[in-house]
Amino acid sequence: MDAIVANPSSATAAAHVMPGSGFKVSARDCNVYYGEKHALKSVSVDIPDRSVMAFIGPSGCGKSTFLRCINRMNDTIPICRVTGKITIDGQDVYDQSLDVVQLRARVGMVFQKPNPFPKSIYDNVAYGPRIHGFAQSRAELDQIVMTSLEKAGLLKEVKDRLTDSGTSLSGGQQQRLCIARAIAVSPEVILMDEPCSALDPIATARIEELIDELRSNYSIIIVTHSMQQAARVSQRTAFFHLGTLVEEGETGHIFTNPNDKRTQDYITGRIG
């Protein structure tokens, strides 16, 4: 649980963070191997609290792999080996004594394809709080479910049909339900892996609006293949290429004047 000592490259990152808001997640020299394959190569990055960071890069460059390191989802892949250090609020995520279930409550995840449980809308959201024993009474659970649906911008649309199946909702609503489900356990970090890639433009705009609202309370990391989406929703952007983090910086800067030629070629749609 050593405090992370900022390296010179993160000193520039620090300059963009509001005083006192600090970094939520820090990775140092993070490597991931799938058997022989070296999928993630020495990634170091600081992710601020109460802000959105976008991960961009060509398919297979390791974005999802890195995302899964943060909530230790890679642990579930037998051939996967992770080295280096990842901390949340300075606490080592890979500490032996850390409770992984607890960690996954602190770090929520939203996937590419909306994946509501085949249960009622209410039960989808109540699921997490129930297993973690967050509510002492039915009234308290109701409260958590309502607040989470409200924060996910879904309450208005579903308040009269809470007992309907989650799978009866539209794709965009299902994704917001998944976000409500993630929020219900009061996470600190929310990981989103291409959350809009299965949605139409209107549903996408709703999710983007929601991400913008959520950022005042959470540290959000979003993987996206849409450069425009990254530019719209994030404050900082990281570009991955062939398993390395090529460049990370303020989103406005990355999309107008990136430092690295590989970043420039990728975001302008040139042959790399």
Partner 1 sequence: MNEHIVTSYEEELALLDKKIAHMGGLAEHNLGQAFDALERRDPRQAELVVKSDKAIDQFERDIEALVISMIARRQPMANDLRHVMVALRIAADLERIGDLAKNIAKRALAIAHESHPKPLMTGLGHMVELALKQLKAVLDAYSERDAEKALAVWRDDAQIDAMYNSLFRELLTYMMEDPRNIGISTHLLFGAKNVERVGDHTTNIAETVHYLVRGTNVADDRPKSDQTSTTLISHD
Ligand X SMILES: Nc1ncnc2c1ncn2[C@@H]1O[C@H](COP(=O)(O)OP(=O)(O)O)[C@@H](O)[C@H]1O
CA distance linking residue 178 with residue 172, whole number of Å: 10
Query: Which one of ligand X, partner 1, Mg ion, none is in contact with 7 (Cβ closer than 5 to 8 A by kind)?
Result: none
Q: Which of these segments, 5-13, 63-71, 213-221, 260-268, binds ligand X (CB under 6 A)?
A: 63-71
* Other Cβ atoms closer than 10 A to 32: 23
**Considering the rule CB under 6 A, would residue 39 count as an interface residue with ligand X?**
yes
Query: Which one of ligand X, Mg ion, partner 1, none is in contact with 34 (Cβ closer than 5 to 8 A by kind)?
Result: ligand X
3-class SS at 234?
coil
Least distance from partner 1 to the Cβ atom of residue 272, Å? 7
Least distance from ligand X to the Cβ atom of residue 55, Å? 8
By DSSP bridging, strand 23-34 and strand 244-250 are: unpaired
Where do the DSSP E strands lie in 49-128?
A: 51-56, 80-88, 91-92, 107-110
Q: Rounded to 5 degrees, what angle do the CA atoms 106, 32, 239 make? A: 80
Cα maximum dimension of the chain: 58
Least distance from partner 1 to the Cβ atom of residue 58, Å? 12
Residues contacting 228, CB < 8 A, separation 6+: none
> Which of 9, 60, 91, 209: binder of ligand X (CB under 6 A)?
60
**Residue ranges that bind partner 1, judged by CB under 8 A:** 227-228, 231, 255-258, 263-265, 267-272
Q: Which of these segments, 3-11, 57-65, 203-211, 260-268, binds Mg ion (CB under 5 A)?
A: 57-65
**Considering the rule CB under 6 A, would residue 224 count as an interface residue with ligand X?**
no
